[in-house]
Amino acid sequence: LDDQDHFANRRVRPVGELIQNQVRIGLSRMERVVRERMSSQDQDGISPLTLINVRPLVGAIKEFFNSSQLSQFMDQTNALSGLTHRRRLSALGPGGLSRERAGFEVRDVHFSHYGRMCPIETPEGPNIGLQGALATYARVNPFGFIETPYRRVKNGRVTDEVRYMAADEEEEYVIAEANTALNKDGSFVDPKVLVRRSPQAATLEDLKKMLEAESFFGSTTDLALVDPEQVDFIDVSPRQIVSVATSLIPFLEHDDANRALMGANMQRQAVPLVRAEAPFVGTGVEARAARDGADLVLARDNGTVELVTGDRIVVRYDDLPKKDHEHDLVKFRRSNQDTTINQIPRVREGQKVKKGDLLADGPSTDQGELALGKNLLVALMPWEGYNYEDAIIISERLVKEDVLTSIHVKEHEVDSRDTKLGPEEITRDIPNLSEDIVADLDDRGIIRVGAEVAPGDVLVGKVSPKGETELTPEERLLRAIFGEKAREVRNTSLNVPHGETSPSVYVATPVFDGAHWDEASGESVHSTIQQVLGSINPESVDGKRLVGQDGKVRLRNGRTGEYYDNPITVGYMYMLKLHHLVDDKIHARSTGPYSMITQQPLGGKAQFGGQRFGEMEVWALEAYGAAYCLQEILTLKSDDVFGRVHVYESIVKGANLPEPGVPESFKVLMKEMKALCLDVEVLREDGRPVELADLDEDIYKTQKELGINLTRPERGSDADDRLRQGSF
């Protein structure tokens, strides 16, 4: 039987083909409309204009770009993110698999992936193995099959002839690996060469030996040692097996595959820093990855640099027209992920350049090389328990000197709508705000470009009309004189969100557990280590590292001047600042929206939710015997509708908390049991029945007792905004 996971039986459908299918659907719909109109209209008045309606065609194409699984918002966190996103292979989407249906075989690494799809770069989680990355040298042929290049070997010598082969072609040949030792003339050093070959490429004697040794596995590829004359092809490069992101990992062959997968994926999440720095130890792919993926500015021809400013480079090219001599640089443009795209000149006036030379660096590149992180001097040591588990401590200098600073550009929008009570107005004239607060707003009420703002500052002044109220005598007088009421308005301006700083500067590390002051940086035998990226717990590194030299030195404690007890590993580590920034994660809630069915708080920051207290957390409190604490969490803090309103009231008034009632989830359970035709009765200890009020009764009782209107939506919710603006 054919192997359905073999790359000879799986083809890539490129974007052109997907759009072609959509156009075909659109045209067939259009054809149907044309046929209907031709049969219904009289022959005399027919013209192409009356027959053809292009809407179905436009609709089909728009539908693909707007809602297809395969039309995605480009990942622009850094240069590598965009490159790998554009080279992604996916088995999902229309006509493909679904996550739920995909079994283990589809996801597994297959021998035909060699040189075509990376065995390492794939997501962790439900999509593992269903999304892959195109290997470094692979290409898609006109039929949609992925080909990989090999150099031809003739009479035991490697030639410069390169041939691209699809997975089924490759099986007819004997292929040596790229690391095979060669002489200068291209001949093999060793008398026997390690090759891979499938049964069709093996000789009859070999097949006989394999059958005798019972080492014959049907159609799988087999490794063997053969004479150089039997070799047909040789791999182009050792990195043809892996993708671009994976090939950026130095000493990949010494890494555990799971860790390499995490490393390849995490490089895509590194935010571009203000000052990019190329790694001390690279793999040689950095420059090519930057050229293909980053926003570099390269010379269009040979010439001389005439002018260099922050946002423009003019090069006098020998053979190009004048309009091609100018290069405009991109300055602080926002990317899809709110990071900045900024180009920095790297040439001087008067400098001679050749075609393809670097003129300006883009984000996360350094002198034309990919630079996703920083080389930081680290010490692997415990440091007063602060770097327990995966936490690290960083030196104060890294914060002071903006070593890990990145700039983020965020968009904030404000709408001015027509409400029932009248139109909202964008204005500088905002009630109850002092002149100092609106000093940076222009006459339209919009903040001026270049103003430094802090959390809570007004960005756009906006007022909304309030409802009509009883007029005071003074207002009556004004109305009598001017005939127009001095309208009462509320301030609904757009403010800077809390936690945002003016130049948006964030400092975050994998787990940032506090900066320690500089006097605590140790002193090595040779020189002062000032940049000790504080300390990294050796426990968290040792299991992920293979055997090598220890590289340890004696360090002094910077505060006491005494040596630490044991020698400490010190060296440079290339560290990435990932896009998991604390500003986007920090979240707290006292009261907020509740689920309609269970009446429990919603979950997640986006819904302004609470923290889930799950089954295992309940066990923990049960184990402690913290009965009252547990009761409070499961009732008053969650879904005891009557109780939680009383709690809020008693906290405000400073009174004692009420007795917890029956939680709503218990009532839902009762209803579900009744739906199964079970007659359930709730009894007290003494056998008296417990009366369970419905949710509506609970709410009505609470309203009556407290004298409040609970029909209003949650404050700050969308429904509340609509109510305020009267557009319900």
State which of 236, 261, 282 marks the end of a domain: 236
Q: pLDDT category, 299, cuts 50, 70, 90?
A: very high
Task: Please tell me what DSSP assigns to residue 637.
Answer: I
Considering 115-119, 446-450, 493-497, the range whose residues carry the highest mean pLDDT is 115-119
| Final residue belonging to a domain, choices 81, 105, 135 | 135
* Residue 633 shares a structural domain with residue 707: yes
Percent of the chain with pLDDT over 90: 47
| pLDDT tens digits, one per residue of 61-86 | 999 999 999 999 999 999 999 999 99
Instruction: Report DSSP letters for 709-728, one per residue.
Output: -TTSPPTTSHHHHHHHTT--
Q: Which residue has the higher pLDDT, 381 or 162?
A: 162
User: What's residue 713's pLDDT?
Assistant: 56
The residue among 602 and 543 whose pLDDT is bigger is: 602
pLDDT top residue among 516 and 55: 55
670 and 592 co-located in one domain: yes
* 192-206, 478-492, 709-723: least confidently modelled range: 709-723
- Beta carbons of 50 and 42 less than 8 angstroms apart: no
User: What pLDDT is recorded for position 720?
Assistant: 61
Helices 641-653 and 695-706: crossing angle, nearest 10°?
20
Per DSSP, the chain holds a count of helices (H) and strands (E) of: 20, 35
From the centroid of its chain, how far is CA 725?
36
Residues 487 and 546 placed together within one structural domain of the fold = no
User: Do 107 and 183 have their domain in common?
Assistant: no
pLDDT category at 88 given cuts 50, 70, 90 is very high
378 and 366 housed in the same domain:
no
pLDDT for the residue numbered 516: 39
Cα–Cα distance for residue pair 198/223, rounded to 1 Å = 9
Q: If you compute the radius of gyration of the chain from its CA atoms, what whole number of angstroms results?
A: 34
* Least reliable range by pLDDT among 297-301, 348-352, 499-503, 637-641: 499-503
pLDDT at residue 193 in the model: 94
> How many Cβ atoms from other residues are within 10 Å of residue 134's Cβ?
21
pLDDT bucket at 384, cuts 50 / 70 / 90: confident
With b meaning 16 or more CB within 10 Å and e meaning fewer, what string describes 653-669?
Answer: eeeeebebbbbbbbbbe
In the predicted structure, residue 240 carries a pLDDT above the cut 90: yes
Mean pLDDT of 544-563: 74
How high is the pLDDT of residue 454? 86
pLDDT in tens, 437-470: 888 888 888 888 888 888 888 889 998 887 766 6
Closest CA to 308 of 262, 347, 336: 347
Q: 360 and 392, same structural domain?
A: no
Confidence at residue 527, expressed as pLDDT on a 0 to 100 scale: 33
Cβ atoms of 339 and 329 closer than 8 Å: no
CB 151 within 8 A of CB 233: yes
Q: Does 194 share its domain with 56? A: no
Q: Tens digit of pLDDT for each residue in 256-295?
A: 999 999 999 999 999 999 999 999 999 999 999 999 987 8
Q: Is 370 helix (H, G, I), strand (E, B) or coil?
A: strand
pLDDT of residue 602: 87
User: What secondary structure does DSSP assign to 477-490, as a single string?
Assistant: HHHHHHSS----EE
CATH of the domain at 645: 3.90.1800
> Two tokens at 210?
């394999």
Q: What is the pLDDT of residue 530?
A: 39
| Residue 247 is assigned to a structural domain of this protein | no
Q: Show Cβ contacts of residue 605 under 8 Å, excluding neighbours closer than 6 positions.
A: 585, 587
The two three-digit tokens of residue 102, written as one number? 């995909």
Residue 332 pLDDT exceeds 60: yes
Residue 487 clears pLDDT 90, i.e. is over it: no
Same domain (yes/no): 592, 706 = yes
Whether 244 is covered by a domain: the verdict is no
Q: Report, as an integer, the average pLDDT of 17-36.
A: 93
Inter-helix orientation angle 627-634/615-624, to 10°: 150
In whole angstroms, give the CA distance from residue 406 to residue 576. Answer: 12
Q: Estimate the share of the chain in helix, then strand, then coil, as percent rounded to the nearest 5.
A: 30, 20, 50
Q: What's the pLDDT at 75?
A: 92
Same domain, 602 and 716: yes
Tell me if 199 is assigned to some domain. yes
- In-domain check, residue 250: no
Element (H, E) at 579: none
Kindly state the DSSP code that residue 636 receives in the 8-state scheme: I
- End-to-end C-alpha distance for the chain, whole angstroms: 63
- What is the average per-residue pLDDT within 183-198? 92
| Model confidence band, residue 569 (pLDDT cutoffs 50, 70, 90) | confident
Query: What's the average model confidence in pLDDT over 98-119?
Result: 92
What sign does the dihedral 139-144-146-147 (CA atoms) show?
A: negative
192 in a domain, yes or no? Answer: yes
Q: How many domains does the chain have?
A: 6
Q: pLDDT by residue (tens digit) across 571-629?
A: 899 999 999 888 888 888 888 888 888 888 888 888 888 899 999 999 999 999 999 99
Residue 269: closest CA among 427, 120, 84, 531: 84
Q: Which residue, 127, 141, 138, 9, is CA-closest to 72?
A: 127
Q: pLDDT (tens digit, 9 = 90+) per residue, 647-706?
A: 988 988 999 989 998 898 898 899 999 999 999 989 988 989 888 777 666 666 666 666
Question: What CATH number has the domain bearing residue 393?
Answer: 2.40.270.10
One-letter amino acid for residue 675 of the chain:
A
Q: State the pTM of this model.
A: 0.78
Across-strand partners of 226? 193
DSSP 3-state of 161:
strand
Residues 491 and 513 in one domain: no
**Which CATH number belongs to the domain containing residue 458 in this structure?**
2.40.50.150
Q: Round to whole Å and give the CA distance between 706 and 528.
A: 67
Question: The CATH number of the domain where 184 resides is what?
Answer: 2.30.150.10
Q: Do 544 and 259 form a contact (C-beta atoms < 8 A)? A: yes
- Tokens coding 147: 């080909």
Name the band, by pLDDT with cuts 50, 70 and 90, for residue 43. Answer: confident
Residue 251 falls inside a structural domain: no
Domain-embedded: residue 394: yes
Domain assignment of residue 386, yes or no: yes
- Top pLDDT among 490 and 218 is at 490
- C-alpha 333/C-alpha 517 separation (Å) is 35
CB within 8 A of 130, min separation 6: which ones?
Answer: 90, 91, 92, 97, 99, 102, 106, 107, 122
pLDDT of residue 525: 32
Residue 606 shares a structural domain with residue 654: yes
Higher pLDDT, 202 or 372: 372
Could you give the C-alpha distances from 702 to 539, 640, 693, 697, in angstroms and in order? 55, 12, 12, 9
The residue to which tokens 């690996």 are assigned: 177
pLDDT band at 1; cut points 50, 70, 90: low
**Domain range spanning residue 315?**
273-370
Percent of the chain predicted with pLDDT > 70: 84
Strands 535-536 and 374-380: parallel
Residues 424 and 378 in one domain: no
